[in-house]
Amino acid sequence: MLGLLLAVIALGAQHSVWGRNGESWYADVMRAETRAGNVYIAAAMQALRLASFMHRPSLLAIQVLVMIGKYLINSGKYLDAFTLFGTTIRLAHSIGLHCHPKYLEPSPPTARDVATRQKIWWYMLRVDEEFSMTLGRPLGISGIGTCCWPQELTTDPNIVRFGEYINHFTLLARQILSSDRLTNPRIDEFTDALRTLSETLPETLRFDDSWANSKIDLHLGSWPLSVMATVYYCKMNTYLILLNRQRVEKQAHSSATFNNIGTMSAFTAVNHTPSILIASSEDIISAFLFFHRREPSALVDWTIGQQAFNSCMILLLDAIERRTITYGSSKAEEALHVFKILKSNHVHIFAGCAVDKIEKGFKELHDTITQTNDPDYQARVQQWNNKIISGTRQDKAMLGSGGVETVMGRTGMLLIEGADLQAFVKEEFSPTSWDMPCLTTDSKRDINTSSYHSEGKRVSELKAEISNEHSQTRQSPNVDEESGLHRANSLLYASENVKIVYRQSGIP
């Protein structure tokens, strides 16, 4: 229980800075709360260790670990959170949290206990889906198990329908994340399923751009239903992006239309960025602005910020590929302003990384447009177009933007983390090579043969050394006594080495 209290204090302090300071951010207060929160989290982990949470797992310990994970990811320690959640999953499996309560022996005595286990397990399924989506990692929970989702104990139709929507959305999202190399028909199927599911929500829970206007009153208030509805609106559009971004159209790069030869704007690739991808990115930024204007305290949760950052980068990449300023790039500029506020007030450590990468994208867009208006560049494009028309095949990468990632043909999100994290890096100490203890006969023969040859080479070198010593002795008969003793010792040492090598290698 002590660990739970400490985790609640840390997570509550992290989210309450905005409200406790007159609805405003203060960098000094954020730094102080971060230091205090880190102490509380460390104390919560120590309380779990003293309780032997791995040796004797419990529901309470799992709740504490889930809350610590949320605190860590909001503090920028996403690798710690992802690793810790893996431990949480295994502890949950060890106490049968994934099983239907009726299969347990003994089973929970009351309906309250049953509902508690169901809520914790289904919340873990949602956290697993969020971590996988936000961090671009595989799902940690392989299956949902036999534990059915909890029933909402209320008569409010909005809460009941929204609860059912969340559970169905979790199942659908997990299906999307666990599917690799989707074909276009499968992508269309998932896209239609997401849109159909969103239509089951009541009208009052469907996000609208007008929600970002702080001057109007929302039907359900800004908290908690409107905020939760906006969170899932973002997630739905994010999955639409993840699905349709990996779409591969036939002859997408081999065909082109030219309305006016000689102008860069006339070069338009067939099957360019789907409108659904751009529309979803713009909708996510609209929801991001809703949080900024209505519930800024929710921006502490980096899940929202990561989705907005991904949308900004896609819109900028689309503008770079089109070589013009688009409406989407204007939306990205609005989001950049919010990220700068979060950075200056130390709300989130990732906000600074987001600002740097988005500003770099805007610089690339500016350079691309400037290059397009350059007369020399227009001449090169004219020459390129003439080659295409005459049937000459050249490298189509000429029209690219110099190492900038493309919008389409990709999987996963554009992450804040550096690209070198999941890349080969030469380490200071090389890891040991773990060979199989049981090798086949052929493998042993190969090893013995190579060992034999290496030992034989050593023997040959020693024999050559002895031979040289003998020849030098014959050629210099008037050698002083001390040199003769030294040479004799060398010959004796070399002879002993030959004998040792013979015995070790088994050479006759």
Output 340 or 484, whichever has higher pLDDT. 340
Residues 6 or more apart whose CB falls under 8 angstroms from that of 482 comprise: none
Domain segments of the chain: what residues?
443-505
pLDDT digits (tens, 9 = 90+) for 366-407: 998 888 776 666 666 566 556 545 554 444 433 443 444 677
Residue 462 confidence (pLDDT) above 80? no
CA distance 185 to 155: 40
Q: What pLDDT is recorded for position 180?
A: 79
Q: How far is CA 305 from CA 166, 237, 277, 302, 477, in A?
A: 20, 14, 18, 5, 88
Indicate the pLDDT class of residue 273, thresholds 50, 70 and 90: low
Helix residue ranges per DSSP H, 178-271: 184-198, 227-245
The string over 288-308, giving b where at least 16 C-beta atoms fall within 10 Å of a residue's C-beta and e elsewhere, is: bbbbbebbbbbbbbbbbbbbb
**pLDDT (average), residues 216-241:** 84
SS3 196: helix
pLDDT of 250 > 70? The answer is no
* C-alpha distances out from residue 171 to 47, 101, 128, 184, 414, Å: 34, 20, 12, 21, 24
Q: Average the pLDDT over 232-252 and give the result.
A: 83
Nearest one of 236, 225, 121 to 163, comparing CA atoms: 225
Phi, psi angles (nearest 5°) of residue 374: -75, 130
pLDDT of residue 170: 94
In angstroms, the CA 273 to CA 270 distance is 9
Lowest-confidence region among 148-162, 352-366, 471-485 = 471-485
The CA distance from 92 to 58, in Å, is 8
Per-residue pLDDT at 220: 62
In the chain, % helix, strand, coil (3-state, to 5) comes to 65, 0, 30
Instruction: Quick: pLDDT tens for 302-360.
Output: 899 999 999 999 999 999 988 999 999 999 999 999 999 999 998 988 899 999 999 99
pLDDT tens digits, 9-37: 999 988 888 877 777 888 888 889 899 99
Q: What pLDDT is recorded for position 288?
A: 95
**Count of Cβ atoms closer than 10 Å to residue 386 Cβ:** 12
**Coil/strand/helix, residue 496:** helix
pLDDT of residue 418: 59
For residue 237, the model assigns a pLDDT of: 96
pLDDT tens track for 58-103: 999 999 999 999 999 988 888 899 999 999 999 999 999 999 888 8
State pTM to two decimals.
Answer: 0.75
